[in-house]
Amino acid sequence: MKTRGTMRRARRAAESAAGDMVPSQGELRRIAERILRLSEADETEVTIEAESDALTRFANNTIHQNVAEERLDISVRAVVDGRTARATTNKSDDESLRRATAAAVELARHQPKNPGLLPMAGPAGHGAAKQIERYFESTAAATPADRARVVAALCKEAQRGKHTAAGVFSTGAHAMAVANSRGVFAYHAQTRAQFSITAMDGDSSGWAKATSTDVRGIEPEVLARRAMEKAERSRQPREITPGRMTVILEPAAVLDLAGFLFYDFAGTAVGDNRSCFNNRLHKSVFGKNIEMWDDVYHPLQSGAPFDGEGVPRERVRLVESGVPKRLVYSRATAKKMKAKPTGHGLPLPNEWGEAPLNLVMEGGESSLEKMIASTERGVLLTRVWYVREVDPYEKVLTGMTRDGTFLVEGGKIAAGLKNMRFNESVLEMLSKVEEMGPAVRASGEEAFDMVVPAMKVRDFHFTEMTKF
């Protein structure tokens, strides 16, 4: 029988071990070196990803789920006589590594030759990827009890306000390494935390969400209060006649619309005539107040400072004064299009080439409150959902508003509105931006996290009203 002292010591040991959530650089390097020694390929590349994640889920003002997951993926890419293939395993023992390495070599031998396949990246001429500190012990050491205490308190607060709350509070860590037989070794580890909440009030709802590498930067209490206030303010929602209206988009709504542009900045997309920027590069497309970067080094961004081949990522200015000027390139696409690689290649082999995964849109000095105050009549959107692409070349999207849609009249929030469907071109939307707030890290549901501002946009196209 365990004594209380024994149980306390066991709990403290478990909680301290939570800080070592993912393998160290040395551990992943040793795995990669073992594979490189085993391989009989002309060239060999190793990609290792390790994750440790846990979440606390709640609904109906009650915690109903706590889950934890650990994952290890080891992927071996072999090149044999101009042919390449991958094999993967989730085990790091010698026999599993030997089998995965042999499988990659054998698969490569049976692939057709790839005339565009380049020699693997080498360290010479590329330099080492800059180290970015995105691993926080505060996040790594978070326990189920830590998350449960926060969620339980917020559920009680929701119940006192006669709201029904649901959402997720998760914490975890991720480490990855890319190594190859030409001497490349790149490693990155980071923690991550996420909190999202939906507060429901019968005929209304409110929502808020945030992600961060540091759990201390999330402030669940602030997010919960915001969601509950939105639910309260949107009770007994009205209907209005849809049409072209001034709209104020909170950052999550901007993210889930502008995020659809991300692959259009890929060199492969332009080279294959699949980008909305075909025939638009170096021309005025957006308003002059639109500036966009791909910048993994931005303090509000996350992710590794190297790409799927271990090449260091560059900070790329994609849009300057409303003009799309630059694209991102993998090594192979850059050679094909006579450009310079930017360190945005996806793991090979793939059909996509590259993608900018760290989009940053510069903001302005206006606040959400100022945008509302300067609006005689318009609509305030918390977020959008179920967004689908109607016309990829004109970037026309259709979708719905959700969890906090408000009528603005006379510079004030006048009432909640029933949700509306929209049909809007992102290209047009970003040419009609009248005001912007400071850029923040935004999290939504339709696009990966970006750094974007809130926006006031004229003539946003609403097409129909819903009954909810």
* 212 and 297 both lie in a single domain: no
Alpha-carbon distance 82 to 271, whole Å? 23
Q: Is the dihedral of CA 8, 12, 17, 18 positive or negative?
A: positive
Amino acid at 22: V
* Residues whose CB falls within 8 Å of the CB of residue 451, separated by 6 or more in sequence, listed in order: 298, 300, 301, 359, 360, 361, 439, 440, 441, 442
Cα(176)–Cα(161) distance, rounded to whole angstroms?
A: 44
Closest among 154, 51, 156, 36 to 104, alpha carbons compared: 36
Contact 364, 436 (CB under 8 A): yes
Same domain, yes or no, for 76 and 155? Answer: yes
| Shared-domain flag, residues 188 and 313 | no
- Residues 304/309/314/317 CA torsion (nearest 10 deg): -100
How many independent structural domains does the chain possess?
2
Whole-number percent of the chain with pLDDT over 70 = 94
Question: What number of CA atoms fall less than 13 Å from residue 27's CA on the CB side?
Answer: 16
- Cβ atoms of residues 176 and 50 within 8 Å: yes
Structure tokens at 353: 């080439």
Answer yes or no: do 44 and 137 share one domain.
Answer: yes
Residues 454 and 465 sit within 8 Å (Cβ to Cβ) = no
Dist CA 312 CA 287 (whole Å):
31
Domain check: are 400 and 291 in the same one? yes
For residue 282, give the 3-state DSSP assignment. Answer: coil
User: Omega before 115 cis (within 30°)?
Assistant: no
Same domain for 61 and 193, yes or no, is yes
What pLDDT was estimated at residue 228?
98
Domain co-membership, 436 together with 317: yes
Q: Within this chain, do residues 152 and 286 fall inside the same structural domain, yes or no?
A: no
Same structural domain, 184 and 281: no
Helices 25-38 & 94-109 angle (0-180, nearest 10):
50
Kindly report the backbone phi and psi dihedral angles of residue 329, in degrees, each rounded to the nearest multiple of 5, phi listed first. Answer: -140, 140
Does 368 share its domain with 290? yes
Contact call for residues 72 and 97 (beta carbons, < 8 A): no
Q: Rounded to an integer, what distance in angstroms lies between the CA atom of residue 50 and that of residue 174?
A: 6
pTM of the predicted model as reported, rounded to 2 decimal places = 0.92
Q: Which CATH number is 137's domain given?
A: 3.30.2290.10
CA distances from 338 to 124, 266, 267 (A): 20, 14, 11
Residue 432 lies in a domain: yes
H helices of 216-295, where? Answer: 220-233, 251-258, 267-271
What is the longest distance spanned by two Cα atoms in the chain? Answer: 75
Listed in sequence order, the residues at least 6 apart from 229 whose beta carbon sits closer than 8 Å to its beta carbon are 206
- CA-nearest of 23, 51, 32 to 101 is 32
Give percent above pLDDT 90 in the chain.
93
DSSP code of residue 391: E
Q: What is the mean pLDDT of residues 31-60?
A: 98
**CA 420 to CA 180: how far, in whole Å?**
51
Nearest in space to 146 (alpha carbons), one of 174, 173, 170: 170
Considering Cα of 361, then 362, then 366, then 369, what sign does the dihedral take? positive
224 domain-assigned: no
Give a yes or no: residue 387 inside a domain. Answer: yes
Chain position carrying tokens 């003539």: 459
Instruction: Note the pLDDT tens digit of each residue in 5-25.
Output: 444 443 443 333 334 689 999
Whether 10 is covered by a domain: the verdict is no
Question: What pLDDT score was predicted for residue 128?
Answer: 60
Quick: pLDDT tens for 326-372: 999 999 999 999 999 999 999 999 999 999 999 999 999 999 999 99
Q: Distance between CA 463 and CA 242 in Å, rounded? A: 6
The whole-number pLDDT of residue 14 equals 36
Q: What is the pLDDT of residues 233-286, one digit of tens each?
A: 999 999 999 999 999 999 999 999 999 999 999 999 999 999 999 999 999 999
| 243 located within any domain | yes
Range of the domain at 334: 237-468
What mean pLDDT do residues 311-323 have? 97
Summarised one tens digit per residue, pLDDT across range 77-129 is 999 999 999 999 999 999 999 999 999 999 999 999 999 999 999 986 545 66
**How many helices and strands (H and E) does the chain possess?**
11, 19
Last residue of a domain, one of 216, 251, 270: 216
Residues 155 and 81 in one domain: yes
The residues, any chain, with a CB within 8 Å of residue 444's CB and separated by 6 or more, are 209, 252, 253, 255, 256, 259, 383, 384
Say if 187 falls within a structural domain. Answer: yes
Q: Rounded to an integer, what is the distance from CA 294 to the centroid of its chain? A: 13
- Verify that 315 and 212 share a domain, yes or no: no
In-domain check, residue 411: yes
Task: Using alpha carbons, select from 251, 285, 255 the residue that is nearest to residue 430.
Answer: 285
> Last residue of a domain, which of 181, 216, 251?
216
**By the 8 A CB rule, do 431 and 286 touch?**
yes
For 84-126, the DSSP string reads EEEEEES--SHHHHHHHHHHHHHHHHTSPP-TTPPPPP-STTT
Q: Is residue 393 part of a domain?
A: yes
